[in-house]
Amino acid sequence: MLRILAVAALALLAPACSRGDAGATEGAGAAKRVTLTIAGPRGSHEFRVEVASTADAQERGLMFRTDIPKDGGMLFAPYPPDGGPPKPAIFWMKNTPSPLDILFIRPDHTIARIAENSVPFSETPIPSGEAVTAVLEINGGRAGELGIDEGDKVTWESGPGDGKPG
């Protein structure tokens, strides 16, 4: 009985994951890109990232991608994509061949949690641990290389449809 409950719980969890079984992500030319800055006591760093602001784009994320620029990545904003109130996020690495650092961002734009070097192709849930309004995926190990830490401030360009929270 306990095993059936565990399987049922995972089945309920799957739709909440930001990764699905879709093919490639938005075409490279079609995805909106923004400049994103992470600043903290150890300095600041700029990234040029794609914005996944729709449910479909967030479901695909960086699946099947091996061409992530060193200072690139993907911003999932707003999260949730329906623009609802902040909520806990659960990600996974299904069909994602590149290790990623997953940064969960609070409504006040600070980093709540960093899941470092998430394992490629893993279907293990990666929870935010608290309600968030955005999630950033960057190359695995980049957060550590740059001294990015929980509590650092994340900002990005504002403009129509950029998904900037708050």
Q: What is the pLDDT of residues 105-126, one digit of tens each?
A: 999 999 999 999 999 999 999 9
Catalogue all structural domains in the chain, each as residue range(s) with its CATH number.
Answer: 2-156 (2.60.120.1140)
pLDDT of res. 51: 94
Neighbours of 97 (CB within 10 A): 12
Q: Where are the alpha helices (DSSP H) in the chain?
A: 2-13, 55-60, 142-146
Q: What is the pLDDT of residues 70-109, one digit of tens each?
A: 999 999 999 888 888 999 999 999 999 999 999 999 999 9
The pTM for the full model equals 0.79
Residue 53 gets which letter from DSSP?
-
Q: What is the pLDDT of residues 153-164, one digit of tens each?
A: 999 987 444 444
